[in-house]
Structure 1
Amino acid sequence: MGKNRQHSVTDVPYRPSRGAPVGMDVLNFAELSTRGGRRGLDLSAPLRPDFHHLIHVRQGPVRHIVDFQNYKLDSGSWLWVRAGQVHQYVPRDHTTARGTIVIWQPGFVAAEPLHNDSPMLLTGPHARSAGLALRCLIHEYGDLASLPLDAHIETLRHLLSVLLLRLTHACPASASSPGPSHDAFHRFRSAVERDFADSHHVNDYAAALGYSVRTLTRATQEATGSTAKQYLDARILLEARRLLVHTDATSAEISRQLGFRDPSDFTKFFRKRDGGTPLQFREVGRGTAPVALSAPASGDTSARSPAHG
């Protein structure tokens, strides 16, 4: 790989298509390619949209990389990629596939049913049960003139909520209903996303939010299966991986960006959780593009947190 190559992630703000309701859009793969070209985006390069993607493949396969994991979407598969995740298509797959992509801004759906922040991949007969909900959403999306705009948007909110609930309950690992600790985890997750580069200690978050460390740990375990400390460390590690592979910042610069007092502390943190040094991870990531760093040999993977790899 050439020494002068610049590495970066392109941040992609939400821009609805003309005539689309505020906050949500539905398009097919051909429209995705056209829109990407119009905006000067290379869909096979790392992109970080500030909106959600729900990808349903009718005719595949489509290979997709989300934060260093490979996903192979065969016909009938669904993949939910969360806002803020770094993802990219394998070249040419999106130009030959057929399917639907639903995109929406965070907050368009009042209560997203999944707690887990990792992508969600669904295949098989359980995933097909969501097809009717998707067809209803597509029909309503295209039927703009039959309702006042406010009612049209509200109908889309409800239909998207139904679709997400159907997908959630088709995924056994995510099908549990929110427990009494849901609010505690939601607040903790938001605080971690905002402050992970400033505070690496769960007790800081507990004090700021008015909870005990035990309460945050229990709430996080209910929602994700990880302790609060594991969840926080995973978020820091994920950002470190992104910066190592997708930017040209030095390990010392990344260490400072992520709030470590000394670069050696960052190296120890990274080695303990990843198994290698930051620079080793960068070399592997840049020498095997575009493949997942921890994907199974088969090339298929189920949804799990990439930051725990």
Structure 2
Amino acid sequence: MKSGQLPGVKQLRYTPAPGAQFDVEVLSFAQLRLMDPGRRRTRPQRPDFHVMALVQAGVGRHTADFIDHPLRERTVVWIRPGVVHRWTDVDDVEGPLLLFTQGFPPAPGPVAQATGDVFGPACWRLDKEAWELAMRAADHLRHEHAAAVSNPRLASAPLLAHLLSALVLRVLPTGPADAPTGTPHEHEPGSDRRPGPDPRPGPAPEPDPEHTVFRRYRAAVEERFAEHHHVRDYASALGYEPRTLTRATRAATGLGAKQFLDQRILLEAKRLLAHTDLPAARCAEHLGFHDAANFTTFFQRQAGLSPSRWRTRHNGR
């Protein structure tokens, strides 16, 4: 089984709509329901692209990596590539729905930082002032996208990329001024919550050298977490000292480099246990553990439950 493939979970690849050969697409919940009469949206799926939604009206629910989120007016949903999610209930939800590839927003900057954050929040709520500006940004992007599709002479990928970036900057959570969409319902209290910094980070700029170090480390972890479980391996490959990676990772996420790496391995372990029938020993092998007992010890320490008990409580979520 290749990394990222989970039997039982629909793997979604980004494919531009006919006549819209861009790395961004603007849809709506109404269009989603129209295109999906079989309600496949309610079953687990794993896109290789970003999905962002703004809830203008209605109430519903969404599940992302084992955490349920209530949806209501002024809710922002952001599903990053690789996240296993499902639209649990969006039958009455209205609002824009955006799909875009990882490399479409211009880089570097706070937008690239946010799009690359594998532990970024999946759901939050904006205050009224921020929401109004976000909807204007989304509407501008929608109009430009429609114009580009209908009249290729007007098409401009850089313009669409910058309008998408403006929208991302408008919807990024900025702090505790407004409460999140509601307390997420975790299937087992305390067992799923990822440790780390405030889940509502703002787009404040980081010191550039440290951000560059963390960005390189984060990309390396995402590519090799199933092979290398020690920070020193990444430090050697990237040409840094381990303490440099730890300092940069802590500045960016509030986690040490080893904690960040362990959390990424743990997240994939949970996905394998919940969405496949692989025995724990095979999960261990897939994640680079040469001894199933070491995998069990790692999982128990990180999640507070053995792999078998965790699977029993979360299977199919």
Q: 1:248 to 1:41 in 2, by over 3 A?
A: farther
Counterpart position of 1:138: 142
C-alpha distance in structure 1 between counterparts of 2:206 and 2:32, whole Å:
34
Counterpart position of 2:187: none
Within-5 A mapping of 1:157-168: 157-168=161-172
- SS of residue matched to 1:26: strand
Q: 1:166 to 1:113 in 2, by over 3 A?
A: farther
- SS of residue matched to 1:131: helix
C-alpha distance in structure 2 between counterparts of 1:253 and 1:41, whole Å:
32
C-alpha distance in structure 1 between counterparts of 2:40 and 2:284, whole Å:
29
Report the Cα offset of residue 238 of structure 1: 0.4
Report the Cα offset of residue 267 of structure 1: 0.5
> Do the aligned residues in 2 keep the contact of 1:82 with 1:119 (CA within 8 Å)?
no
Which sections of structure 2, spanning at least 5 residues, go unmatched? 1-5, 176-199
For each residue in 1:72-101, what CA deviation from the matched residue of structure 2 results, as whole angstroms up to 9, or x when unmatched?
1211111111111111111xx222211111
Within-5 A mapping of 1:52-131: 52-90=50-88, 93-111=89-107, 112-114=112-114, 116-117=117-118, 118-125=120-127, 127-128=130-131, 129-131=133-135
For each residue in 1:179-233, what CA deviation from the matched residue of structure 2 results, as whole angstroms up to 9, or x when unmatched?
2211111111111111111110000000000011111111111211111101100
Q: Which of 286, 292, 295 matches 1:263?
A: 292
Matched, 1:156 2:160: yes
What amino acid is the match of 1:95? Answer: D
C-alpha distance in structure 2 between counterparts of 1:7 and 1:147, whole Å:
39
Q: Which of 189, 205, 214 matches 1:177?
A: 205
- SS of residue matched to 1:138: helix
C-alpha distance in structure 2 between counterparts of 1:206 and 1:35, whole Å:
46
RMSD of aligned C-alpha atoms? 2.0
The 10-residue stretch of structure 1 (262-271 or 21-30) with the greater mean CA deviation from structure 2: 21-30
Aligned length, in residue pairs: 278
| TM-score, with length taken from structure 1 | 0.84
| TM-score, with length taken from structure 2 | 0.82
Report the Cα offset of residue 239 of structure 1: 0.5
- SS of residue matched to 1:33: helix
- SS of residue matched to 2:95: strand
> Do the aligned residues in 2 keep the contact of 1:116 with 1:224 (CA within 8 Å)?
no
Which sections of structure 1, spanning at least 5 residues, go unmatched? 1-5, 291-309
> Do the aligned residues in 2 keep the contact of 1:76 with 1:127 (CA within 8 Å)?
no
C-alpha distance in structure 2 between counterparts of 1:76 and 1:226, whole Å:
30
C-alpha distance in structure 1 between counterparts of 2:12 and 2:258, whole Å:
30
C-alpha distance in structure 1 between counterparts of 2:60 and 2:253, whole Å:
27
> Do the aligned residues in 2 keep the contact of 1:7 with 1:245 (CA within 8 Å)?
no
Q: Bigger relative contact order, structure 1 or 2, given CA contacts below 8 A and separation 6+?
A: 1
